[in-house]
Amino acid sequence: MRIRHALLAGALGATTALAGQLPAAASPDTVPVTSGSGRGAAHPADSLRDLAARVGLRMGTAVTPFELDNAAYRAITAQQFSSVTPGNEMKWQVVEPTRGTYDWSAGDRLVDFARRNHQLVRGHVLLWHNQLPDWLTSGVADGTISDAQLRALLHKHVTDQVTHYKGRIWQWDVANEFFTDGDASTLNAGDFWVAHLGPGIIADAFRWAHQADPTALLFYNDYNIEGVNAKSDAVYTFVRDLRAHGVPIHGVGLQAHLATQYGFPYQMRQNLQRFADLGLKVAVTEADVRTPVKKDANGQYTDEPLTPQAQAAQESYWAQSLQACLAVRECISYTAWGFGDANSWVPSWFVGEGAALLYDRNLNPKPQYNALRDILTHTAAPHRSGRGAGRG
Ligand code: 9MR
């Protein structure tokens, strides 16, 4: 699977354009301290992170360390967000590219960045069918790795990775995307892990992660489960059963990769609430709102929505998803899957769609950003407190 490190020319150009407005970094990953808030990084009182902090909510973004090389991107990451998720750098393919040899460097850089900037980290991801190392998948395919060995390798992977980051990860996405859209009634029997090790492997991964770091909040994470639908029903039953069997699962992550052409998810707040009523935390983990975009004179897709109505729908979807999270006390973080349109995964995966994030490719905030800020400013919401809530 190809990993996309997209930092396109537009965003690089923005470094110069914004240089006068943003504080210069003293060292690569440090955004300078101001006396104002006394909380470390310089962030204005109307930043997303500070507005959300008033109700104990963490605002997050996915980041890749490559993006942190850009001063403007780095400054916005620190100023606007109080939680970060590595886009790719804690995936097995990246942390163990060669069997038995770990490379934690990229994940470590982000965790260190977070510490310097008073942010919490969502670890992503321990058990997933995608972005596995080639040595693992080819070994399974050619029979040189047996199922028993695969189980032992997974145990070691989960234990070693969670131990490496022990005490430094707030929420771990332990298991990701085990249900399909087509037949949501049950776990995907064709999933790599389920096919080889049986459905019980998911519970085992939670147990192993908990043994390695008993303080981390352990999440099940999936897409198209934002609203009440057949797939979220199936996930609901699954996590309820895990809880009933004493499996250490503490939360459910709703990715929220939304698209204007599919409508806003049905009853998102009620859906979050029913997971919360199981005694779980909930989180919006990978939010973006894509839409069909115009082509330029050269036939290249732009970041401009096809219609003003689509732009309005994007703003509305961002606002509604944040409102749903705010309304549920157990919703402890709201994370966007990146923030600059030049850095989004969307255009390369959904040809003809884009404009999915909060800032344009020159890193200027879009109306979507203002919509989130307005919601945080004007919506009364219960304060998140108790174990795990917006800690720190
Ligand atoms: O943003 C990630 C992108 O750079 C990778 O190419 C892609 C490969 O699978 O994974 C993206 O992140 C995914 C996340 O890990 C899980 N949920 C869906 C995300 C978007 O594809």
Distance 147 CA to ligand 1 centre (A): 26
Distance 87 CA to ligand 1 centre (A): 7
Distance 230 CA to ligand 1 centre (A): 23
- Residue 177 annotated among the catalytic residues of the structure: yes
Distance 271 CA to ligand 1 centre (A): 24
Distance 91 CA to ligand 1 centre (A): 10
Indicate which residue of 89, 286, 315, 353 is catalytic: 286
Pocket-testing residue among 2, 61, 88, ligand 1, by greatest number of atoms within 8 A of Cβ: 88
Pocket-testing residue among 89, 90, 177, 337, ligand 1, by greatest number of atoms within 8 A of Cβ: 337
Measured distance CA(93)–CA(130) in Å, rounded: 9
Q: Atom 19 of ligand 1 has which residue's CA nearest to it? A: 286
Per-residue pLDDT at 89: 97
For residue 4, pLDDT over 70 is answered with: no
Q: Ligand 1: which residues within 6 Å by Cβ?
A: 1, 3-4, 87-88, 130-131, 176, 255, 286, 345
**CB half-sphere exposure, 107, CA atoms < 13 A:** 24
Nearest atom, ligand 1, residue 130 CA: 9
Token pair 């705010």 is at which residue? 326
- Residues of the chain with pLDDT > 90: what percent? 84
Q: Does domain 12-377 correspond to CATH entry 3.20.20.80?
A: yes
Cβ(160)–Cβ(104) below 8 Å: no
Pocket-testing residue among 286, 339, 343, 353, ligand 1, by greatest number of atoms within 8 A of Cβ: 286
For residue 13, pLDDT over 90 is answered with: no
**pLDDT tens-digit map of 180-202:** 988 887 899 999 999 999 999 99
Nearest atom, ligand 1, residue 1 CA: 8
Q: In a 3-state reduction of DSSP, which class is residue 314?
A: helix
Distance 301 CA to ligand 1 centre (A): 21
Per-residue pLDDT at 17: 31
Alpha carbon distances (Å) from 340 to 6, 128, 336, 365: 10, 26, 10, 9
Strands 171-176 and 120-127: parallel
- DSSP secondary structure, 346-381, as one string: HHHHSTTEE--SSB-TT-PBPHHHHHHHHHHHH---
For residue 282, pLDDT over 90 is answered with: yes
**pLDDT tens-digit map of 331-377:** 999 999 999 999 999 999 999 999 999 999 999 999 999 999 999 99
Measured distance CA(149)–CA(88) in Å, rounded: 25
- Residue 304 annotated among the catalytic residues of the structure: no
Per-residue pLDDT at 201: 98
Measured distance CA(158)–CA(209) in Å, rounded: 6
In which band, very low, low, confident or very high, does the pLDDT at 42 lie, cut at 50, 70 and 90? Answer: low
Indicate which residue of 67, 177, 226, 353 is catalytic: 177
Domain boundaries, the chain: 12-377
**pLDDT tens-digit map of 119-159:** 999 999 999 999 999 999 999 999 999 999 999 999 999 99
